[in-house]
Amino acid sequence: MPDIDCRLHRKGALPMVRHDLWATITAEQLREIPDKATLGRLMTGRQATRVVDAYGQISYVHPATKGSRIYDLNHCEGIRRKTKVAVFPLLMEGDAEIRVTWTNSDGEERTWRIEPVRELDDAGFPLDAPVFGERFKANPDTVAAKNKKELDRIAYPDHDDAQEARRRQVTPFGGNLDAISHLHGIETPTYLEREGEIIDAPAPEDIRKPVPLPRALMTLSQAWGRPITREENQWLTEKYPRGIHPDELEKLEQNSAPGAPERRLRAVR
């Protein structure tokens, strides 16, 4: 074309026609483009983040739709309530399908292709949902719940109700599971026993506080089964002005204090 410069101008390179630039590509640099189906699976839209709700679902507005769609993730292994997932809309194939990506605790990335829930009524509820007042329908078991039931079936093969078996303290696995079997083959080192040195430890000092005299008098009165006499009160007050030691009080409970009146038998006519 006259008076038109069709050469490609790039900084640091000489002007060159685009076709001449393509002619410089060698056979080793050529790559075959994937088929249309593969490109459809690879071509996605902008990433978004969603949190799985209590029903194992997420909502997302696909570029091909005008409103929000519901996507069920209950069949995705490892995904549970409040799990954050990355969502990519598929642009070239499918009807409002998305790609869901999630990374588990081991750093492994899992990817699923999810279709929206299509069978909904005008109010947005699934057509197979239970009707109020007619029947009940529990949420489907999650992958974790299914794995738990499978473990219960293996642990208690002769019982239909694993919870009842635990309540009755039934031994799991038929008693054939040895939790310390990996320790049986351990060889302990052999060593010569050494006798310890005998030391003389002084007896600990009795640091118990004496019982205050008023409380001690009440204790003795209950132990003797009678009131404290004036002579006994005077004798105890003079001997133990700061209280009675617990050991001494225990001895006094067995015997009356000096000066106590003697108990004599009287004949009653």
Per-residue pLDDT of the chain (269 residues; tens, 9 = 90+): 677 777 878 888 888 888 888 888 898 888 888 777 777 666 778 889 999 998 889 999 988 887 888 899 988 888 888 899 999 988 877 788 899 999 988 889 999 999 998 877 777 677 777 777 788 777 777 777 888 888 888 888 888 888 888 888 888 888 888 888 888 888 877 777 778 888 888 877 777 888 898 998 899 888 888 888 888 888 888 888 888 888 888 888 887 655 554 444 344 45
In DSSP notation, 82-127 reads T-EEEEEEB-SSSSS-EEEEEE-TTS-EEEEEEPBP--B-TTS-BT
Q: Which of 85, 110, 40, 91 is nearest to 71 (CA)?
A: 85
Residue 160 lies in a domain: yes
Structure tokens at 266: 């009287």
Residue 202 lies in a domain: no
Kindly provide the b/e burial profile for residues 175-193, where b requires at least 16 CB atoms within 10 angstroms of the residue's own CB: eeeeeeeeeeeeeeeeeee
Question: 168: how many CB neighbours lie within 10 A of its CB?
Answer: 9
Same domain, 110 and 151: no
Domain tally, the chain: 3
Q: What 3-state DSSP class applies to 34?
A: coil
Same domain, 91 and 159: no
Q: What 3-state DSSP class applies to 135?
A: coil
Residue 229 contacts residue 261 (beta carbons within 8 Å): yes
Structure tokens at 261: 């009146």
Residue 153 lies in a domain: yes
Phi, psi of 234 (to 5 degrees): -65, -40
Residue 105 lies in a domain: yes
Residue 62 contacts residue 39 (beta carbons within 8 Å): no
What range defines the domain where residue 150 resides?
143-172
Residue 218 lies in a domain: yes
Same domain, 100 and 149: no
Residue 198 contacts residue 191 (beta carbons within 8 Å): no
Residue 123 contacts residue 133 (beta carbons within 8 Å): no
Same domain, 100 and 151: no
Same domain, 100 and 162: no
Residue 217 lies in a domain: yes
Residue 10 lies in a domain: no
Same domain, 88 and 152: no
Burial class (CB in 10 A: 0-12, 13-18, 19+), 89: buried
Residue 195 lies in a domain: no
Phi, psi of 150 (to 5 degrees): -65, -40
Give the residue from 114, 132, 151 where a domain finishes: 114
Same domain, 42 and 110: yes
